[in-house]
Structure 1
Amino acid sequence: MSPLVLIVDLIVLIVGVTAGYFFHRYQAEQAAKARQEKADDILKAANSQARLIESGARENAAKITKAAESEVKERRIELSKETERLDKRRGELDSRFDKMEQREQTLNKRQSQVDKRANEIDKLYEDQMKKLEFVAQMTQDEARKELFASVEKEARGDMARIIRQIEAEAREEGEKRARKLIADAIQRVASEHVAEVTRAVVTLPSEEMKGRIVGRNGRNIKAFEQAAGVDVIVDDTPDSVTISCFDSVRREIGRRALSKLILDGRIHPAHIEKIVEDETKAVEKIINEAGEQAAYEANVTGLHNEVLRMMGRLKFRTSYGQNQLAHAVEVSKLAGILAAELGANIELAKQGGFLHDIGKAMDHNQDGTHAGLGAEFCKRYGVNPIVVNAIASHHHEVDQDTVEAVIAESADAISGARPGARREDLEAYIKRIRTLEEMSMSFEGVQQAFAIQAGREVRILVKPDTIDDLSSARLARDIAKKIEETMQYPGQIRVTVIRETRATEYAK
């Protein structure tokens, strides 16, 4: 290609670029001009709209100003009227105040006359009292003391009669209501007579077995006592040995282990330890299952596993022949029925009845009463405070804070006192009868005391010249209170005081 052609092409390119630049610049100016015109139109429209809004605002302001002036005018009129009313009321109050001052002056005059008359009456009263003292030959203080003594004596007699009447009426009505509740509760629970007792006697197939149990130089019996933690008593009782231990669970483990050893026939120290260990695990399983089963039967839920395990230990604990775990279930059911009748919390009452004797499962290992130990144990495992109070207070060692605690105690008494629930041995029975009679004889004025009806009632003969009819009621109440505070017994004991006066003459 020649240089001339290149120069021509270059010139054409420069001219094209220049023309394009000026064309685009022209278009940009036209677009800017169009935007400016559009902006001017928008500004004009905005100014017009602003003028319209300003005009409307001025009209609204004028209306509001006019309304405010009208309201201020009305308020001024109302204030003027209120001022007139206040001025009128002030005038009335001033007039009334003047009248009150006049009345006060009149009352002051009358008061001075009354005071004068009162002084005259006091003087007449003093003269009359002097004349009365002269006639009666005693001072006012002496007459007052004699009158008070006479009134006090009469009032005490009336008070004793009223108290006796009220007590009789309350007792009659309370007995009717309580009898109905108790009968209904017992009927609905329908528990069987409790006759099961944890026996500590193991029957032997023959007398020869005693020698095998003892072993050479007593090694078998020593190994058994050491492994089981019990005492084995081998005496002259035919075909039997006795397991003795204060812990009912260990006693049960010993009984089961010894029975199994007798059936197995292999009695030597190594085998004894294995059998005792096996029976310990078996009894622990029975305890766990017994606690869960008892809670299920009593329909008590939400208890910790340790609480249920401790309750299961009561399966091997008895009191007066009554199994304590069965007693706990029965008390829980009775408490639930009584709570439903009385409108109390049924769940808490049932828990309190179920757990009230849980301390008996541990009172042989720790110091303290079973009520206190049980309450502390349940508190440790998150039992409701109301239930803890019911456990701690069912023997009145602490105050009963709720009606559920009273219901638990009542259910406990019903379960222990119902027919066939408990039994006691002859020695304890005789001791309780003797204690009843000696306690009754310790009161002043008592002539004789007889415990009758298997210790359910004590009849007291008093000296008629020392104890009157009204004092007899107080004596019966005092003796009953002392029995409650100092003795432990199933059910209730009736105290009857008899005062008899005899007059004897001889015809000659």
Structure 2
Amino acid sequence: MTITAIIVGVICLVIGAVLGMFFSKSSLNTKAKFIIDDAKKNAENLIEKANVQAESIKKEKNLQAKEKFLELKSQHDADIQSREKKMQEVEKRIKDKENKLNDELSKAGKLEKDLDKQIADYAKKNEILERKQQELDVATAKKVEILEKIANYTAEEAKAELVETMKAEAKTRAQAHVQSIMEEAQLNAKSEARKIVIQTIQRIGTEQAIENSVSVFNIESDEVKGRIIGREGRNIRALEAITGVEIIVDDTPEAILLSCFDPVRREIARLSLHRLVTDGRIHPARIEEVVEKTRKQIEEEIIEVGKRTIIDLGIHGLHPELIKIVGRMKYRSSYGQNLLQHSREVANIAATMAAELGLNVKLAKRAGLLHDIGKVPEQESELPHALLGMQWAEKFGENAEVVNAIGAHHDEVEMTSLLSPIIQVADAISGARPGARRQVLESYIQRLKDLESAALSFEGVSSAYAIQAGRELRVMVESGRVNDEVASQLSYDISEKIQNELTYPGQVKVTVIRETRAVNIAR
């Protein structure tokens, strides 16, 4: 505000001077002079007021600066006092730590002295102990010598007898451990061996191959055989070349044998032969036409069977190739059990088990139906059927759990989900139930008798029963003659005898039961 007044005063002086010069030069009237003088006075007054205001502001600012200085000084003094207090606290803590350290050093010195003393005591005691040990050795030798004279046994003879006595006891006590280890070791080895044997029997077993690779075509009379053979055998050669099936015309009355490992080809040949015989026109051109029509009909029927099966089981979204493979199962059997019926049964059993366990029922049905698809390849494969089926399922976009269940149901790959053991168990249940697969009754009964006879040949066994279709042997022993330890040994010995002397499928579980009964009558 003061600076502005000064500037205004200066401007007025300048304007007055300019006007004075102007009016003096122009010889104006005296009124202008009065105006100039008045302007000078006003300018002087403004300058004087401005100086007064500037002085008052200067005093005020000096006073504020002094107050700020006092405030900063008091704050600085407070900071210095706080720092001095903290420094005193730190010095105190350092002194306390120094005192504690001195105490610890003094204690360590005392402990070191005590340790030296204890070492010296230990050396003395060790020396005394060595002397005592020498005396004890001498006394023991004298006692052994006296005992040898009394018992007429040398120390080595007594030791040998003791070792022999302990061997029997140790063998009995260790038998339980040995048996568990043997069972664990045999699980994998026997599983792999049985798997290979079963696969081999299924592929090249003579009796099974004959049953599953031959179809009988019945004819009304032997005259039809000549028409089927044709002039110089041209009809039968054409039929064999087109179908890939060997046609056996022998002395069997009113029957022709169709031999082929592929059941689908065999069925095509049978239906084609039936149509040709019914129609009566049998010649190479007609044979080719009928076989082609029959092949298309069988392929359509295979697809229809596959679709009907998945609809019955409530399975959706199956790849068309997998539907076709499911349909081909109708023409495949394993040990006399139809593969399609077996797969449907496994699907239903697996679904029931999955429902009980709270798992995905639909996935269980899917895996159960597809678990044996590797058994129906159109071309022969060197892979086991579980791995081949797993590859197909993976190729056609099946769920990872379903793929693993197919590959692991014969332990070909490691199980990675709860669905895999369910499929394995369901497959075993379907194949092992009575009547599922063809067996010779006499050999089956004889096998059960052999199992029971093997158990009854051991001392202390009162009775033996083969149960679960010969998969388990229950052995009852006399409690007075057989104790718990011997019972464990007996179970192992019986299992070894069965393994070495008998022939049986799968594995046989031997259970020895020792029972003590106390009976009293209240009258």
Please give the range of the TM-score, normalised by the shorter of the 2 chains: 0.5 to 0.7
Whether contact under 8 Å (1:220, 1:269) holds in the other structure is: yes
Quick check: 1:325 aligned with 2:351? Answer: no
What value does the CA root-mean-square deviation take over the aligned residues? Answer: 4.9
Deviation at 1:459, TM superposition (A): 9.3
- Structure 1 position 123 matched with structure 2 position 127: yes
Specify whether residues 274 and 360 from structure 1 end up closer, same or farther in structure 2 by C-alpha distance, changes over 3 A only.
same
Give the equivalent residue in structure 2 for 1:474: 492
Query: Which residue of structure 2 lines up, in the alignment, with residue 160 of structure 1?
Result: 175
For residues 80 and 330 of structure 2, the distance between their equivalents in structure 1, rounded to whole angstroms, comes to 93
User: Does residue 1:360 correspond to 2:375, yes or no?
Assistant: yes
Contact 1:479 1:495 in 2 (8 A): no
Alpha-carbon distance between aligned partners in 2 of 1:75 and 1:302, rounded to the nearest angstrom: 82
Relative to structure 2, which stretch is displaced further, 344-353 or 270-279?
344-353
Task: Say whether residues 1:264 and 2:279 are aligned partners.
Answer: yes
TM-score if structure 2 supplies the norm length?
Answer: 0.59
Q: 1:308 aligns with which of 323, 333, 344?
A: 323
Three-state SS of the structure 2 residue aligned to 1:365 is coil
Q: Please tell me whether residue 215 in structure 1 is matched to residue 230 in structure 2.
A: yes
Q: Distance in 1 between matches of 2:436 and 2:169?
A: 48
Q: Does 1:236 align with 2:251?
A: yes
Amino acid at match of 1:358: I
- Counterpart CA distance in 1 for 2:303 and 2:76 is 89
* 1:290 equivalenced with 2:305 (yes/no): yes
Query: In structure 1, what is the equivalent of residue 94 of structure 2?
Result: 90
Structure 2 unaligned blocks of 5 or more: 1-67, 145-155, 183-211, 456-463, 476-480, 515-523
Instruction: Using the TM superposition, give the Cα deviation of residue 262 of structure 1 relative to its aligned residue in structure 2, in angstroms.
Output: 2.4
- Maintained 8 Å contact 2:465/2:474: yes
Task: Give me the whole-angstrom Cα distance separating, in 1, the residues matched to 2:303 and 2:320.
Answer: 8
Does the C-alpha gap of structure 1 residues 86 and 299 become closer, same or farther in structure 2, counting only changes over 3 Å?
A: farther
Contact 2:213 2:260 in 1 (8 A): no
CA shift, 1:458, in A, is 6.9
Aligned to 2:115: 111
**Contact 1:356-1:374 within 8 A present in 2 as well:** yes
* Residues 139-150 of structure 1: pairs in structure 2 closer than 5 A: none
Structure 2 contact 491–511 (Cα < 8 Å) conserved: no
Amino acid at match of 2:370: L
**CA drift at 1:361:** 0.4
**Distance in 2 separating the partners of 1:392 and 1:162:** 33
1:298 aligned partner, one-letter code: L
Residue 275 of structure 1 and its aligned partner are, at CA, apart by: 1.3
Match of 1:395 among 401, 410, 413: 410
Determine the structure 2 residue equivalent to 1:378.
393
Partner residue of 1:336 out of 329, 351, 361 = 351
1:72/1:155 CA distance change after superposition, 3 Å = farther
Distance 1:374 1:71 in 2: 89
Note the C-alpha offset of 1:87.
4.1
Name the CA distance, whole Å, in 2 between partners of 1:458 and 1:218: 58
1:458–1:495 CA contact under 8 A, matched in 2: yes
Query: 1:333 offset after TM fit, Å?
Result: 2.3
Q: How far apart in 1 are the matches of 2:406 and 2:420?
A: 8
1:400-411 counterparts in 2 under 5 A? 400-411=415-426
Q: Which runs of 5+ in 1 are unaligned?
A: 1-64, 168-196, 442-449, 500-508
SS where residue 200 of structure 1 aligns? strand
Is 2:491–2:510's contact at 8 Å kept on the other side of the alignment?
A: no
User: C-alpha displacement at 1:199, in angstroms?
Assistant: 7.8
Write out per-residue CA displacement over residues 94-116 of structure 1, whole angstroms, 9 at most, x where no aligned residue: 33222222222222222223323
Could you say if the C-alpha distance between residues 430 and 411 of structure 1 is closer, same or farther in structure 2, counting changes exceeding 3 Å? closer
Pairing 1:273–2:277 present: no
Distance in 2 (CA, whole Å) between partners of 1:323 and 1:92 is 93
Counterpart selection for 2:106 from 102, 108, 129 = 102
Partner of 1:36: none
Query: Which position in structure 1 is the counterpart of 2:261?
Result: 246
